[in-house]
Amino acid sequence: MSNKKFTTTSGIEIKEVYTKLNAPIEAPGEFPYTRGIQKDMYRGRLWTMRQYAGFSTAEESNKRYHYLLKQGTMGLSVAFDLPTQIGYDSDHEMAEGEVGKVGVAIDSLKDIEILFDGIELEKITTSMTINATASILLAMYIALAKKQGADIRQISGTIQNDILKEYAARGTYIYPPKPSMRIITDIFEYCSKEVPKWNTISISGYHIREAGSTAVQELAFTLANGKAYLNAALEKGLDINVFAKRLSFFFNCHNNFFEEIAKFRAARRMWAKITKELGATDEKAQMLRFHTQTGGSTLTAQQPLNNVIRVTNQAMAAVLGGTQSLHTNGYDEALSLPTEAAAKIALRTQQVIAFESGVTETVDPLAGSYFVETLTDEIEAAAQLYIDKIDAMGGSVNAIENGYIQNEIADAAYQYQVEVEEGSRIIVGVNKFTQEKEGINDVFTIDESIRTIQTEKINKLKAERDNQAVEKALNDLMNAAKSSDNLMPFILSAVEVYATLGEIANVLRDVFGEY
C-alpha cells in the first residue's frame, strides 16, 4: 500500500476513497445555488460560446469577428492592446512597440465604428476585457449603438471593469484605488438607469490565477473583491437588489478537473451567502453568474498540440461546474495570438461538448458524488479563511494597499515553479515526455507598421472634428471629476464629439493623479 500523499493544487488532501455525505443537497435554481442558478441549466439554454479576439487595427479585428460569427460563435469578446488599456493613444510615446500587439488598438469612436462594422449591436452580446478605461470604451459602445438606431436599453454585454485585481495581479491601472472605485460605482449607477441589460462589472479571478494563485486563492480574492464593490455601491446609496443583478464573474479553469468543478460550485454558494448578508433579498441579486476562460498559463510552447487536450479537459470542467459563458483558448497561444485554424478548433471543442458529449442533458451531473461534494465544502472552508483575514484588514482595498494579496499570490506562484523544476509536478512535454522537434510552423504575427496607421488616423480625426466641441466636452468632464457628479454622461458627451481615449484619460489623470 502506498503512503504517498495526494493533494489538489491548493494543497487540500485527496483521500483514497470517499463514502459519506454530511449535508443534504438542495435543488438546482434554489438558494444557495450550489447546483446551478437555473432549474433546468443547459437543458433550457446552453452557455454562450465566446471567442476572445482583437489584434492589430479595428479593420483586421472586424474581419476575425465576421469569421467567428460565421463559425457559430454566439457572442464577441474583445481584447484591447496595452495602450488602450492604460489610457494612451497610439501616437503617445508610451505606446511605442505595443500598438495592436495583445489586442486591438482603439483611439476614438471612429475605431469602434470600424470594429463593429456590419454587426448589429442589438443582436449580439459583447464582452470587453477592459478595466482602467472601461468607462470610455463602454461610452464608445453606447455611442455606436445610438448611431445604429438601437434601443440602448436593449443592448447587452459585459465590461470587465474590475480594477482591484489590476492592483493585485495584473497592473493595467491608471488612477489611485479610491477614484477608481468612484468611476466604477458611477458606471453601476448610470447603467442601472440607462443601460439596464448591461453587466457593469465582471469580477475577475482569471488574472489572479494567471499570476500564479491557487484555485482557493482565486476564489477567495475574487469574492473578497466582489464584496468590496458591493460595499462601495451600498455606501453610494445604490440598491443592492438592483445593481447586484448586473454583477458577473470571470473565472479561470485549470487542469485539476475535480478541483475546478468544486471551485465553481463553492463560488455560487459563497456569493449567495455574501449578498444575503449584505441585504440582498431578490433571488437574481444573490445569484453568481460567471464566464470562464480556459487557463492561458497552462498552455505550453512545447508540443503545442497537447494544448488541445488541456483546453478540452478545462472546458469540460467549466461546463460541469455550471458556467454561463465560455471561451476556449487556441492551442498556439503560448507562441502567438491564435491563428484562424486554432480559433476554429477551440470553438469546435465547445460545440462537441455541447452537442455530442451528453453532459448537458441533466443538471449538475456530479451532484451527490462523495468526492465532489466533500471537495466543494473543503474549498469553501479554505477560501472563507482568506476572506475572514481580508475582512479583518478592512476589506480588499486595504489588503491590496498593504501588499497582502500580492504576496500570497507570489508565494503560491513560487511554490508551483519549484514543483515543476523539481519534477514533483509533471507538465507533459515540458519536464516529462519531452521531444526535440515540436512540429508547428504557422504562427500569427502583427505588422509593426500599425502604430503609423493609427497615428495617421488620429491626425486625420483631429483635423476633421469640431475641436471647440471637444474642448468644451473635456472641460465639462474635468469640472464633473472635481465635483461629485456621475462621470458617465460627461464621458459619453466627449466620446460623441470624437475626443480620443487618451484625451479623456488625461483629463481624469489631471484631476485624480496616477497610482
Convert the pLDDT of each residue in 493-511 to its tens digit.
Answer: 999 999 999 999 999 999 9
Report the pLDDT value the prediction gives residue 398, as an integer from 0 to 100.
Answer: 94
The pLDDT tens digits for 19-38 are 777 666 789 999 999 999 99
Q: How far apart are CA 265 and CA 285, in angstroms?
A: 17
Q: How far apart are CA 459 and CA 108, in angstroms?
A: 12
Summarize the confidence of residues 294-303 as an average pLDDT.
Answer: 95
Residue % of the chain over a pLDDT of 70: 97
The pLDDT tens digits for 167-200 are 988 889 999 998 999 999 999 999 999 999 999 9
When the candidates are 1.20.140.10, 3.20.20.150, 3.40.30.10, 3.20.20.240, the CATH number that belongs to 32-448 is 3.20.20.240
To the question of pTM greater than 0.85 for the whole model, the response is: yes
Report the pLDDT value the prediction gives residue 292, as an integer from 0 to 100.
Answer: 97
483: pLDDT strictly greater than 90: yes
Report the pLDDT value the prediction gives residue 73, as an integer from 0 to 100.
Answer: 82
Q: How far apart are CA 294 and CA 326, in angstroms?
A: 8
The pLDDT tens digits for 367-391 are 999 999 999 999 999 999 999 999 9
pLDDT bracket for residue 446 (50, 70, 90): low
Report the pLDDT value the prediction gives residue 1, as an integer from 0 to 100.
Answer: 53
pLDDT bracket for residue 57 (50, 70, 90): confident
The pLDDT tens digits for 412-423 are 999 999 999 999
C-beta atoms surrounding 292 within 10 Å: 29
Q: Which three cell numbers stand for residue 243?
A: 445593481
The pLDDT tens digits for 85-119 are 999 999 999 999 999 988 999 999 999 999 999 99
* Burial class, 425, CB count within 10 angstroms (exposed 0-12 / middle 13-18 / buried 19+): middle
Q: How far apart are CA 77 and CA 470, in angstroms?
A: 30
pLDDT bracket for residue 438 (50, 70, 90): low
